[in-house]
Structure 1
Amino acid sequence: MSSAPVIGVAVLLVKGETVLLGRRRSSVGHNTYALPGGHLEFGESFEECAVREVKEETGLDIKDIEFVTVTNDVFTEAAKPLHLVAVFMRAHLADPDQLPQNMEPEKCYGWDWYNWKNLPQPLFRPLETMLKNGFSPFSTELN
């Protein structure tokens, strides 16, 4: 079992009433829908991680990046148990005409925009935890 939690940064990329989600191809959360994001690297800010991960995974450039919430989940059922602290950031497309590309097909089946009120199932656990806590990326105040 891992001795320390892993810090992940997930990006709520907002476009109208939709968010960008991809279906995971990884051992943790396989086949669940997740936001673009990944592990925080040493010395990196949350904003820097958000920009890097969104670009690496989707090819998209983002702007107006802000912290919104955090979740704390433990995956004991995984082959290698994982304690994941997910830092959620909200952002918008730098250019609204950009289209997401699947830059890491070994990790994701593809990206698409989903209406926040009608998200696909099953969701990756940190996103599910965030929803159960009543968070919405469309509220005018930070939760």
Structure 2
Amino acid sequence: MENNNGAVEVAVVVFLLRGEKVLLGRRRSSVGHSTFSLPGGHLEFGESFEECASRELKEETGLDIKQMELLTVKNHLFLKEPEPAHYVTIFMRAVLANPEQVPQNLEPHRCDGWEWYGWDNLPKPLFWPLEKMVQAGFNPFPIA
């Protein structure tokens, strides 16, 4: 993560749901190394949140998504990292366009791999922004 002389970054991440499970990967980066997090990345100039979510998910996992919606927006300050950073994180929810599609690890330098996890059986440790949401009772699944 770069220190952009005080600039605020925008990240878009995806709660990709399959049945009662969510897709998570183990990070390989200086920020949150070896923690589990959602797929996603930086919003590019001119992109909508939906376009960014679709692009990042495709780049990282090869998966195609549908039925995307905005869930929430969070403000994150990373003060203890190698370089302080400020992120506004857009959390989206989506489902697979093809339920038979299997995630691939297309960025092995950034992630150890992708797996499906039950919301009541999430891996540890979670990336701290996600951990904070879980501890606060956040649930990405639609209320039936």
Q: Which runs of 4+ in 1 moved over 4 A?
A: none
Identify the match of residue 56 of structure 1 among 55, 59, 76: 59
* 1:29 paired to 2:32: yes
Tell me the C-alpha RMSD between the 2 structures: 1.3
Shift of 1:84: 1.6
Normalised to the residue count of structure 1, the TM-score between the two structures is: 0.94
* Length, aligned pairs only: 141
* 1:110 paired to 2:110: no
AA paired with 2:126?
Answer: L
Listed one character per residue, the Cα deviations across residues 79-125 of structure 1 (whole Å, up to 9, x for unaligned) are 11111211100000000000000000000000000001110111112
* Contact 1:37 1:54 (C-alpha < 8 Å) held by counterparts: yes
* Contact 1:71 1:129 (C-alpha < 8 Å) held by counterparts: no
Q: Which residue of 2 aligns with 1:135?
A: 138
Bigger mean CA deviation after superposition, 112-121 or 128-137 = 128-137
Q: Which residue of 1 aligns with 2:103?
A: 100
Normalised to the residue count of structure 2, the TM-score between the two structures is: 0.93
Listed one character per residue, the Cα deviations across residues 55-76 of structure 1 (whole Å, up to 9, x for unaligned) are 0000000000000012211111
Q: Which residue of 2 aligns with 1:86?
A: 89
Q: Which residue of 2 aligns with 1:46?
A: 49
Look up the SS of the partner of 2:94 in the other structure: strand
Percent sequence identity over aligned pairs: 62
